[in-house]
Structure 1
Amino acid sequence: MRIPVVGAVVVGVLAAGALTSCSSNTQVPSIGYAVDNPITTYNGNTSQGAYSAAPQAFPRVLTGMTYTAPFGQSVADTDFGTASVVPGETLTIQYRLNSAGVYSDGVPTTCEDLALTWAARSGKFTRNDDRGNTVPLFDAADTAGYADIERVDCQPGSKDATVVFRPGRGFANWKTLFSATEVMPSHVAARVANVPNIESVLQSGDAEALARIADFWNNGWKLAPGDLDLSLFPSSGPYRIESFSEDDGLVLVANERWWGEKPATPRIAIFGKRADMKDKIDSGAVEVVDLGAKSVQDLQLSGFTAVNDPSRSVEQLVLSTQGVFASVDARRAFASCVPRQKLFDEVGHPDYNRSQGPGSGVSNSRIVQSDTLIYPTVAATEAGKYPGGDVPAAQAALTASGVTAPTIRIGYIAPDERRAQTVRLITEACAPAGITVQDVSSPDFNATALRDDQVDAVLAGIGSVSGPAGSALNTDALIALRGGSGTNYGRFDNPRFNQIVDNLLSDGNDNTQLRLSVDGESLLWSEMPSIPLFDQPRTTAFADGLGGGIKNLSKAGAGWNMDRWVLRK
């Protein structure tokens, strides 16, 4: 992986003091890294895994065709492989994996790794549930781009794959497919499912074998502190998993079989949301911090160079479309009383004041980034209808809904001081309208609770993710509200919006993007499946003496280039 030139500028801004002292002191052999998503799985591609720390923990463990760079852009990773378009009317991509590519267990990377990624993320393979409904066999977080692929031509054991899209379909951001943390080791799934290889099963359509593969893909890569069967977690990057414990965190060590540039520091210990962040930081166990700003109460970052910034993720309330929110008028009532402007003023921009772009005000779009040219036009669809704290409007909408004295349960992963304050402010603002708000956060909270009707709203970022989320592209935000998507935890399903999403993802034309984004955002303000609040503020901090640290305000977090970190004391 090659670090972009712009990275040096970011390091200079964030950690200039650290770099000047790096030349003469002793290098520390281990670096601690704190993130605010929970460490629960190796596979961040499932509907539950999307709510995990996998995108921050494993970009340099499970590499792919691209990685997410500091400004949220997708950058090719030729250490893993190369991709090129095959001329023709139908979009066809030729992938060639690096000939030296091999997993940490000695098994070469092959095109079957890409084939499994497509099979799991395509939505093509289905089963009938207990009620006779047709449901996906793989519990994928989303199918964006992969659903448009007709087939992956792959000879078992080969380094080459030809990916053919469906006639008349394409994916404007096809270069983001098969990216870091998306490509899982297919040989492990094949071994556990007791099949000779993935490709033979896909070609034969053997339903029982496919079900075994899907069951392992859905459940077999889960992580919990304690003894791990390391044979299930081989690495295709510069680091591999060594252990996972409550005290030491998830420990990554240098992968001896990595074919690229060796990691600068041999050991990284990652502490997820369920760790006592303040204790880990105060005790000196952590040297890199990537947390929601003001989320840890009384956090002191002495000995760090720290900065707060607006991120690529929009803090929002993702609403259920069942139960108390089955009526769109009930959702509008809640949106009317949620004090969006007050929330931005009091918790949405800690210690920075931006006049324009990210972090400059209340977010009025769920699907378009605030630093894009089309944002002002798309955001104008809100038309000032929902500044928040509008008790008469909330009461009128509540009357129209037929819902009396509703109680709204808001969930998020606790502890989180900024989100706790957010819920307190919402509670105060909505009480005069006759709406009771309950904070039902917990350390074990997962966004799937919304899908399971255990809460009425999730307070989180794009895709209901607790920690770092989003990128320079809008894919994650769009797909999170598309019917049938695994990250559409609120089960919003509007045929017109689904069509808009599909067209936005397939057609990159600027005029098309503007027109459809305006249509889509207008529909969302009418149907109210979520309430956007503000660009989520993040705290990135590097310990004094740490070089190579580059903040990344997207879903990859600061760990995007952890193999370049060097700490000297």
Structure 2
Amino acid sequence: MWSSAGRGGRSRVGRVWAAGTALALVAAGAACSSQEDQVPSIGYGIDNVVTSYNANTVDGAASGARQAFVRVLTGLSYIGPEGTALSDGDVGTALTAPGDSLTVNYRLNPDAVYSDGVPVTCDDLVLTWAAGSGRFPQFQSASRAGYSDIDRVDCRTGTKDATVVFKPGRAFAEWRALFGATALMPSHVAGRAANVPDVVAAIGSGDADAIGRLAAFWNTGWNLVPGQADPALFPSSGPYRLDSVTDEGGLVLVANERWWGNKPGTDRIVVWPRGSDLPARLGAGDLDVIDVGAGAIDGLQPGNGYTTVTQPSRSSEQLVLATGGVFASVDARRAFASCVPRQELFDTFGHPGYEHSSGLGSGVLNSRIAQPDMLIYPTAAGVVGDRYLQPDVGAAKSALAASGQGAITVRVGYLAPDARRAQIVAAIAAACAPAGITVQDAGTPGYGPGALGAGQLDAVLGGTASVQGAGGADSVVPPAFSLAIGNGTNIGNYRNARVTEIADQLAVDTSDGSRLNLTAEAERILWSDLPSIPLFNAPRATSIASGMHAAVPNPTVAGAGWNMDRWILLR
């Protein structure tokens, strides 16, 4: 739902802007305003940390890198507001070719060049595939979905054309989302840092030493440090390039002089992540677009002068449980699930300011894989019935006794401070205490996704694939793979061979009947094993300053910055 805030107060309107309408507003606004009216720099606030330029590592994917760099590191597609992958013709084209196996011919734009003057080439596709394929475990990749289905990438070093051939029977249904925005990293930088002159040749020959050096850099070499932003290390392939990282944590993006497409509407965007004191930034007038979890940040209350949209996102707020420690026993996980007040949590935190009778945000989320606006959702969600909806202290005590443990303490982690998640943990603690389960708030500003597997936490409160900020897409693939053996986003190290098989099947089988049966089967297993507890569609709040043109909420992993190069702020 849209809410419109004027100078005299707030009113709500029930419509969603289309991208085309927003772009038309840019032209109309620019036509009727003089050059002096345009604000030269726009501030963009997000509710996640940005610790790496590489959004494809486990840590990078859990961060806000995809929101910050979606128009810095472009790809052959991007995620639009509806949650689907849209082709980016500025970067290149992707066309399927006839054959027994899915084959896609990629042609990169002849003018495509990084901000350091090095051409964008098929070498970048090869590195992206190698990192996500699972063939080279040295890479700490967040997800292998789709990339593991590729048999080979035919590329002549330094050229603009690549042929991607998928394995027989592994026609990845969402191939258009591969090699998308923030997925293509500059292979020439990795090759130079790793002393690998020919990245394509090294990967093609399986040179273990060279690949190990490439992976070591790929994993951590693009980490961000305040006060440092070497243009040789962080070249851009988009309308903006990273100019600097301020001591206060702001990421300064400036127009990329070598960008071959339409010039950005505004020359400078400053991304202010969590930890940069967003309420103070708002008070100082530094924020013009704000994209955060609804109710997450205390004191961040844009009022007059902003239009605020609060809506359910495609990110599934959930508890991801460890499969070791106090939760090594499935009975202990069942005990915890029995006392989590899921209905109360939805009623209190799951639909702030909106009431949806169906679809996203309309009720407690009863599937980890399907979303409420999908045809397959009712069947998948129906597997659990009314179990685990209201706290059942008796069932929790019985399951805890069956686990062979006495009273247990459950440490729930998340990226703090987060007011909404802190309240959720407090509500769970109150409901579980009578069952002999002490729930401890372990939220911290230093949260990282590896804490769960390292035994430092017992549960993580987050969105799809445990992301702490914007997340989700109109797809069953990422949530399914977050439960697959060996996938980087499976931070609880859940291991069930059949669920992994189902994730692999969902990646290639698009028929409604098959997906209905597969998701229902998966949910039967998951509600028995309980590696996670789904809660509700995470609510997002997007605030847009008056005078802003082309800013459009995007309640997916891409966030509102998906089209930041079209933003124009007129005063």
Normalised by the size of structure 1, how large is the TM-score? Answer: 0.95
Distance change >3 Å, CA 325–CA 246, structure 1 → 2:
same
Distance change >3 Å, CA 319–CA 246, structure 1 → 2:
same
Alignment partners' CA distance in 2, 1:555 and 1:9: 22
Distance change >3 Å, CA 104–CA 539, structure 1 → 2:
same
Q: Which moved more, 1:191-200 or 1:63-72?
A: 191-200
Hey, what does 1:106 align to over in structure 2? 117
SS of equivalent residue, structure 1 residue 181 = coil
Contact conserved, 2:481 with 2:490, CA < 8 A, in 1? yes
Hey, what does 2:18 align to over in structure 1? 6
| Residue 401 (structure 1) shift | 1.2
SS of equivalent residue, structure 1 residue 222 = coil
1:429-485 Cα offsets, whole Å, 9 max, x none, are 000000000001111111211111100000000000000001011221111111101
Matched to 1:446, the amino acid is G
| Residue 274 (structure 1) shift | 1.6
Alignment partners' CA distance in 1, 2:560 and 2:32: 20
1:321-375 Cα offsets, whole Å, 9 max, x none, are 1110011111111011000000011111111111111111110011001111111
| Residue 389 (structure 1) shift | 1.4
Alignment partners' CA distance in 2, 1:230 and 1:465: 28
Q: 1:65 aligns with which of 68, 76, 82?
A: 76
Hey, what does 1:130 align to over in structure 2? none
Normalised by the size of structure 2, how large is the TM-score? Answer: 0.94
Hey, what does 2:40 align to over in structure 1? 29
Alignment partners' CA distance in 2, 1:252 and 1:196: 30
Hey, what does 1:162 align to over in structure 2? 163
Q: Which moved more, 1:56-65 or 1:23-32?
A: 23-32
Hey, what does 1:269 align to over in structure 2? 270
Hey, what does 2:366 align to over in structure 1? 364
Contact conserved, 1:367 with 1:474, CA < 8 A, in 2? yes
Hey, what does 1:426 align to over in structure 2? 428
- Any gaps of 5 or more consecutive residues in structure 1? 126-135
Alignment partners' CA distance in 1, 2:197 and 2:32: 50
Alignment partners' CA distance in 1, 2:89 and 2:124: 16
Contact conserved, 2:342 with 2:535, CA < 8 A, in 1? yes
Contact conserved, 1:10 with 1:551, CA < 8 A, in 2? no
1:87 matches 2:98 = yes
Matched to 1:338, the amino acid is V
Matched to 2:326, the amino acid is V
Alignment partners' CA distance in 2, 1:106 and 1:551: 33
1:145-172 Cα offsets, whole Å, 9 max, x none, are 1001111110011100011111222211
Contact conserved, 1:22 with 1:545, CA < 8 A, in 2? no
Hey, what does 2:64 align to over in structure 1? 53
Alignment partners' CA distance in 2, 1:19 and 1:473: 35
Contact conserved, 2:308 with 2:542, CA < 8 A, in 1? yes
Hey, what does 2:327 align to over in structure 1? 325
Q: 2:128 aligns with which of 117, 125, 134?
A: 117
Write out aligned runs for 1:144-155 (5 A): 144-155=145-156
Hey, what does 1:474 align to over in structure 2? 476
Matched to 2:93, the amino acid is T
Write out aligned runs for 1:19-418 (5 A): 23=33, 26-125=37-136, 136-247=137-248, 249-302=250-303, 303-418=305-420
Alignment partners' CA distance in 2, 1:168 and 1:348: 40
Alignment partners' CA distance in 1, 2:483 and 2:459: 14
Contact conserved, 2:310 with 2:353, CA < 8 A, in 1? yes
Alignment partners' CA distance in 2, 1:202 and 1:7: 39
Alignment partners' CA distance in 2, 1:72 and 1:54: 17
Alignment partners' CA distance in 1, 2:29 and 2:472: 29
Alignment partners' CA distance in 2, 1:447 and 1:195: 30
Matched to 1:121, the amino acid is G
Alignment partners' CA distance in 2, 1:219 and 1:285: 30
Pairwise CA RMSD of aligned residues?
1.8
- Any gaps of 5 or more consecutive residues in structure 2? 1-15
Distance change >3 Å, CA 276–CA 342, structure 1 → 2:
same
Alignment partners' CA distance in 2, 1:248 and 1:447: 21
Alignment partners' CA distance in 2, 1:79 and 1:344: 42
SS of equivalent residue, structure 1 residue 381 = coil
SS of equivalent residue, structure 1 residue 478 = helix
| Residue 230 (structure 1) shift | 2.0
Hey, what does 1:131 align to over in structure 2? none
Distance change >3 Å, CA 534–CA 182, structure 1 → 2:
same
Contact conserved, 2:116 with 2:231, CA < 8 A, in 1? no
| Residue 228 (structure 1) shift | 2.5
Contact conserved, 1:145 with 1:174, CA < 8 A, in 2? yes
Distance change >3 Å, CA 197–CA 378, structure 1 → 2:
same
Hey, what does 1:132 align to over in structure 2? none
| Residue 423 (structure 1) shift | 0.5
Which stretches of structure 1, 4 residues or longer, exceed 6 Å deviation after superposition? 18-22
1:530 matches 2:535 = no
1:287-346 Cα offsets, whole Å, 9 max, x none, are 000000011123220221112100000110010011100111111110110000000111
Alignment partners' CA distance in 2, 1:468 and 1:201: 36
Alignment partners' CA distance in 1, 2:222 and 2:278: 25
Write out aligned runs for 1:555-566 (5 A): 555-566=557-568
SS of equivalent residue, structure 1 residue 112 = helix
| Residue 22 (structure 1) shift | 7.2
